[in-house]
Chains A and B, each alone.
Chain A
């Protein structure tokens, strides 16, 4: 049996670990609230731009933009949104599984995949599994700005424009609630026309200033960017939620461990006292 001193030092070290996990849990909880607010704040833009795109689909534009046209798939692009830091449970692992599933699906069809990684965990993972990474952005922090994403998204859009990729997906964690984060794959390009627009009876078109092509290009580019941005913001909320849950579990485990160790320590102490007593009694009897 381990001696009292050994057990005591072990309890001390577990307590220290528990302090850290508890602090991380609280930090994650407060960050999660902020991230959730940010997530809510980005929704109006996405809603509004989606509505405008919906109008566009209804409006019978005089020309169809490349982003709205289906074409044969020879190569696809995937934007993977992951977290920058670990210690958030299975969040990234689940996401990468979804990403890999998508990659495998296309590779089975003989289609190659380009990866654009946002977040350093994704970079590390796809580097290891040997994905072709064409663009990368990481260390976005807790409050990312759209500006930081533009470069990476543009690389993918350019690739689409030049016909290097024929389809573009984004993979990110969707924030369902604090306990649930759902890895989600969404198709960015070509943009799927919404169902409801088809049964519209009258047709009209916008006045475009300056040219339809340019205006549409700008609008669709912003649409894609906003979707990616939303994915990033949502992923951050997910990261904090997952970290909070993981750290809570760690704190609880540490608590259990401390309880068990405490019990072992008490037993060891009692055994030592009993032994001492019986020695004294035996000594007294001998005299």
Chain B
């Protein structure tokens, strides 16, 4: 029987594959790597591409990953797949966007304050009216 190892392919949003295999091929950033059981510990980034596993019965399974990380232990291989398309510029743009939204929200504070003040004034006016009405009823004017 061929030597086997365990492979977990997971993304942040779901588990993709988990099982026993004899070989794994993955698109590492420095070139495709093939991993057999008892490979030394390795940690590398993946680029978008195909992860291929060969199962015990010789069947092959293919999974597309849009990048991620590959961790190799002698008998366990973990593929942490990205769900999002990542690029430095893209991430940067998103960060800027998130910041902008926060600033925008803070800028809106003024209108919120106005609203709060109006609310307070309204409450005060209602209280005054009620007092007046109560006094009218009491003294019957």
- Interface of A toward B, CB cutoff 8 Å: 38, 41-42, 44-45, 48-49, 51-52, 55-56, 59, 116-117, 123, 127-128, 133-138, 145-147, 150-152, 154-155, 158, 204-210, 214-216, 218-219, 222, 225-226, 229
Given A44-B10, A127-B106, A208-B43: 12 more A-B contacts, CB < 8 Å: A55-B73, A127-B105, A127-B112, A135-B98, A145-B84, A150-B84, A155-B98, A204-B41, A218-B45, A219-B43, A219-B80, A229-B12
Name the A residues within 8 Å of B14 (CB-CB). Answer: 41-42, 44
B93 and chain A: residue at smallest CB distance = A151
Contact yes or no, B29 A209, CB < 8 A: yes
A to B CB contacts below 8 Å, 8 in the list: A41-B14, A41-B15, A44-B8, A136-B102, A146-B12, A152-B98, A208-B43, A229-B12
Pair B12/A226 contact, Cβ less than 8 Å: yes
Bound state CA distance, A144 and B20, in angstroms?
31
**Neighbouring A residues of B109 by C-beta, 8 Å:** 127
Pair B80/A45 contact, Cβ less than 8 Å: yes
Check B42–A210 contact: CB distance below 8 A: no
CA distance A219 to B84 in the complex (A): 15
B35-78 interface code vs A (CB 8 A; 1 in, 0 out):
00000111111000000000000000000000011010100001
Q: What separation, in Å, do the CA atoms of A182 and B73 have in the docked complex?
A: 36
A147 to B66, CA, bound (A): 12
3 closest A-B pairs by CB? A151-B94, A151-B98, A147-B84
Q: Does residue B1 face the partner (Cβ distance < 8 Å to A)?
A: no
Q: Are A42 and B102 in contact (CB under 8 A)?
A: no
A128–B41 CA distance with the chains assembled, in angstroms: 51
Residue B30 at the chain A interface, CB threshold 8 Å: yes
Given A45-B12, A206-B41, A207-B43, A136 and B78 contact (CB-CB distance below 8 Å): no
A135 near B101: Cβ-Cβ < 8 Å? yes
With A48-B8, A48-B78, A229-B12 in contact, do A151 and B97 touch (Cβ < 8 Å)?
A: yes
Q: Is the CB of B13 within 8 A of A42?
A: yes
* CA gap between A202 and B134 in the complex, in Å: 84
A134 touches B99 (CB 8 A): yes
Is A209 a contact of B30 with CB atoms below 8 Å? yes
The answer to whether A155 and B95 have CB atoms under 8 Å apart is: yes
Contact A154 B83 (CB under 8 A): no
How far is it, in angstroms, between the C-alpha of A158 and the C-alpha of B96 when the chains are bound? 11
User: Within 8 Å of chain A (Cβ to Cβ): is B18?
Assistant: yes
Q: Does B91 contact A (CB under 8 A)?
A: yes
Instruction: Give the contacting residue for B13; candidates A49, A145, A154, A210; CB below 8 A.
Output: A145
B22 at the interface (CB under 8 A from A): no
| A136 pairs with B91, CB closer than 8 A | no
Is B28 part of the binding interface, using a Cβ–Cβ cutoff of 8 Å? yes
Given contacts A45-B80, A133-B102, A154-B91, contact A219 B69 (CB under 8 A): yes
Contact at B102–A209, with CB atoms within 8 Å?
Answer: no
* Bound-state Cα–Cα, A117 to B106, Å: 12
Task: Indicate if the CB atoms of B44 and A208 lie closer than 8 Å.
Answer: yes
CA distance A45 to B9 in the complex (A): 9
In the complex the two chains form, is A209's CB within 8 Å of B99's CB?
no
Residues of B within 8 A of A218 (CB): 45, 69
- A225 & B98 in contact (Cβ 8 Å cutoff): no
**B75 CB to closest chain A CB, in angstroms?**
13
**Most B-side CB within 10 Å, residue of A41, A128, A218:** A218
Among residues of B, the one whose C-beta sits closest to the C-beta of A223 is B80
CA distance A59 to B82 in the complex (A): 24
Are B45 and A214 closer than 8 Å at their CB atoms?
yes
Q: With CB as the reference atom, state the residue of chain A lying closest to B95.
A: A154
Min CB–CB distance B44 → chain A (angstroms): 4
Q: Which chain B residue has the least Cβ–Cβ distance from A206?
A: B43
**B11 lies within 8 A of chain A by Cβ:** yes
A116 to chain B, nearest CB (A): 8
